[in-house]
């Protein structure tokens, strides 16, 4: 059976992934495609998927720039339903000969649209709807074979459609929660306009992934890099289900793990019939990092050393296949991330490059978003400590210890991190948090412990709320909990005299300190 599918053409908008996820939430499969995907490529995709509609995403460009990103001119010739959002809306309007101009007033944020015709995409909506807009170019008119469906004070054509063909444009973003009836608008597009069947469900993914691993690995041996994070854990669990003890999982202990982490991972995966290798590489990482202070250098050294340790262990197993927990956003970011700036070198166990010649790299999670991976983890009955665990960066505590890494500093960071986790989890606060951890700064401050003056480390506590880590806000944790964290850290860790709470959002700060 082929999944009914909506393709989202990516014009560089920050909400592209969100559009895809919103569609999948309704049981309809969705994939991102480059903005200039060729009609032949879509036809080819149709061998596997039943492509039933296209969405042109928003994007930072203006149709007036020189060489703005445009779709393939023959794409409309496929006669598939099309919906343009924001920049996509302007693109379609321009292509069909509509009039677009820079707006008198830029609209950004919540806006109220007057619905002139509640039909098609806007079926079931009221006269006035609250939507999320962000644009400066504005569509002022569309040709006679099109009709206006909604307008705002500054935007005469906020929604339009072709009078006969399924071609739609919306100046606003239905995928964003601030658009109150956004879900209904997307449902109208998926089910009314594109007549999709909701025939995609997450359970199928498990069965499909296990089958695929079985076919791809055949009677061979495979290896996986297990970090204890959710992605590599789920990939490992799926592979275990498919090939049992022909799978070797390598857990590299670089020494910057949280307290008890190696034991935790060993314990969870001892229940599977796989071979688990724990590579104790603590000394080796510290030696490589001696004297290194620059955060990017630290990250690079850790990433490279990780690969060396993995390779050494992989070679011994004689595995011909590498199974990786690469998820959908990882794949897209490395593919079309060309418009975005590099903020940090992410060392990601899932994106493990290696010198070893594997016959094949198998990526069973390649089409899934993070929340979908969590659902798969639940189906596989992985313990809740794995399903709901907070993200943990590949380089671990190393990017939470400012300056040079030493054994002493690692021990302090581990203790502080454990206290933050315990106090947050005691109150069940973690359910609404993206991450909560301690950072060991390289600042020292004066304190008084007992009757004596002390001059020692400052620990920063970082607790954030976020949906996708692209943006984050510091969490408004009750003072009593912060007080408990601070008291315990200064009491239980003699080398710390002061605890501060990081009250910076992302942006401008990143979540991790390095």
Binding site for ligand XMP (CB under 6 A): 343-344, 346-348, 391, 393-395, 435, 469, 506, 510-512
Least separation in angstroms between residue 334's CB and ligand XMP is 13
- The minimum distance between CB 465 and ligand XMP, in angstroms, equals 12
For the bound state, the minimum distance from the C-beta of residue 183 to ligand XMP, rounded and expressed in Å, comes to 27
The DSSP symbol for 191 reads I
Among 35, 173, 254, 347, the one annotated catalytic: 173
Which residue's CB is nearer to ligand XMP, number 409 or number 462? 462
Q: How far apart are the first and last CA of the chain?
A: 47
Residue 284 or 346 having the CB closest to ligand XMP: 346
- Closest separation between CB of residue 342 and ligand XMP, Å? 11
C-beta of 298 vs 488, nearer to ligand XMP: 298
Distance between CA atoms of 231 and 423, rounded to whole angstroms?
Answer: 26
Which one of the listed residues 31, 129, 175, 363 is annotated catalytic? 175
What is the CB neighbour count within 10 angstroms for residue 55? Answer: 30
| Shorter beta-carbon distance to ligand XMP: residue 92 or 350 | 350
Strand pairing report for 222-225 and 321-323: parallel
Does residue 86 carry a catalytic annotation? yes
- Strand-by-strand arrangement of the 82-85 sheet: 29-34, 4-10, 50-56, 82-85, 167-170, 159-162, 146-151, 99-115, 128-141
In three state form, how does the secondary structure of 1-61 look?
A: CCCEEEEEEECCCCCHHHHHHHHHCCCCEEEEEECCCCHHHHHHHCCCCEEEEEEECCCCC
- Give the span between the Cα atoms of 385 and 228, in whole angstroms: 10
From residue 199, alpha-carbon distances to 2, 118, 392 in Å are 8, 28, 34
Min. distance of Cβ 483 from ligand XMP in angstroms?
26
User: What is the closest distance, in whole angstroms, from the C-beta atom of residue 301 to ligand XMP in the complex?
Assistant: 12
Active site residue 422: no
Element (H, E) at 287: helix 282-288
Q: Is 109 helix (H, G, I), strand (E, B) or coil?
A: strand
What number of CA atoms fall less than 13 Å from residue 164's CA on the CB side? 3
Secondary-structure breakdown of the chain: helix, strand, coil percentages, each rounded to the nearest 5: 35, 25, 40
CB of 57 to ligand XMP, least distance (A): 22
Catalytic residue (one of 86, 155, 194, 196): 86
Residue 309: helix, strand or coil by DSSP?
Answer: helix
Cα(26)–Cα(3) distance, integer angstroms: 13
Asked about 175 being catalytic, the answer comes back as yes
**Residues labelled catalytic:** 86, 173, 175
């Amino acid at each position: 059976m082929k999944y009914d599918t909506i393709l989202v053409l990516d014009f560089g908008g920050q909400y592209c992934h969100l559009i895809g996820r919103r569609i999948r939430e309704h049981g309809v499969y969705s994939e991102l495609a480059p903005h200039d995907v060729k009609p032949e490529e879509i036809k080819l995709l149709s061998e596997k998927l039943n492509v039933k509609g296209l969405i042109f995403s928003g994007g930072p460009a203006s149709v007036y720039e020189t060489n703005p990103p445009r779709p393939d001119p023959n794409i409309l010739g496929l006669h598939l339903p099309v919906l343009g959002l924001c920049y996509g809306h302007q693109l379609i309007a321009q292509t069909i000969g509509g009039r677009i101009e820079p707006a008198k007033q830029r609209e950004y944020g919540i806006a109220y649209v007057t619905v002139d015709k509640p039909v098609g995409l806007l079926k079931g909506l009221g006269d006035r709807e609250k939507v999320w807009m962000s644009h400066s170019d504005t569509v002022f008119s569309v040709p006679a074979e099109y009709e206006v469906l909604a307008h705002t004070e500054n935007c005469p054509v906020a929604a339009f459609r072709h009078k006969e063909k399924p071609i739609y444009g919306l100046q606003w973003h239905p995928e964003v929660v601030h658009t109150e009836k956004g879900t209904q608008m997307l449902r109208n597009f998926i089910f009314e306009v594109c007549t999709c069947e909701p025939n995609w469900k997450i359970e199928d993914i498990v069965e499909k992934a296990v089958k695929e691993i079985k076919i791809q690995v055949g009677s061979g041996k495979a290896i996986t890099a297990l970090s204890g994070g959710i992605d590599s854990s789920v990939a490992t669990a799926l592979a275990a289900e498919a090939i049992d003890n022909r799978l070797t999982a390598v857990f590299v202990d670089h020494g910057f793990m949280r307290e008890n982490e190696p034991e935790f991972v060993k314990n969870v995966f001892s229940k599977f019939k796989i071979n688990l290798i724990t590579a104790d590489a603590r000394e080796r990482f510290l030696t490589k990092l001696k004297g290194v202070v620059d955060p990017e250098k630290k990250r690079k050294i850790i990433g490279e050393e990780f690969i060396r340790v993995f390779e050494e262990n992989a070679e011994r197993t004689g595995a011909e296949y590498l199974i990786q927990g690469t998820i959908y956003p990882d794949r897209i970011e490395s593919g079309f991330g060309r418009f975005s700036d590099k903020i940090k070198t992410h060392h990601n166990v899932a994106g493990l490059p290696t010198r070893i010649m594997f016959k094949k790299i198998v990526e069973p999670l390649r089409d899934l978003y993070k929340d979908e991976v969590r659902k798969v983890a639940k189906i596989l009955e992985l313990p809740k400590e794995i399903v709901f665990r907070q993200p943990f960066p590949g380089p671990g505590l190393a990017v939470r210890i400012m300056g040079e890494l030493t054994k002493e500093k690692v021990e302090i960071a581990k203790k502080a991190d454990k206290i933050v986790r315990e106090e947050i989890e005691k109150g069940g606060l973690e359910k609404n948090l993206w991450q909560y951890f301690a950072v060991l700064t390289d600042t020292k401050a004066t304190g008084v412990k007992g009757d004596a003056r002390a001059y020692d480390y400052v620990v920063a506590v970082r607790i954030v709320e976020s949906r996708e880590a692209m943006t984050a806000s510091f969490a408004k944790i009750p003072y009593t909990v912060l007080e408990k964290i601070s008291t315990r850290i200064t009491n239980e860790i003699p080398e710390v005299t002061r605890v501060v709470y990081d009250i910076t959002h992302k942006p401008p700060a990143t979540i991790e300190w390095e």
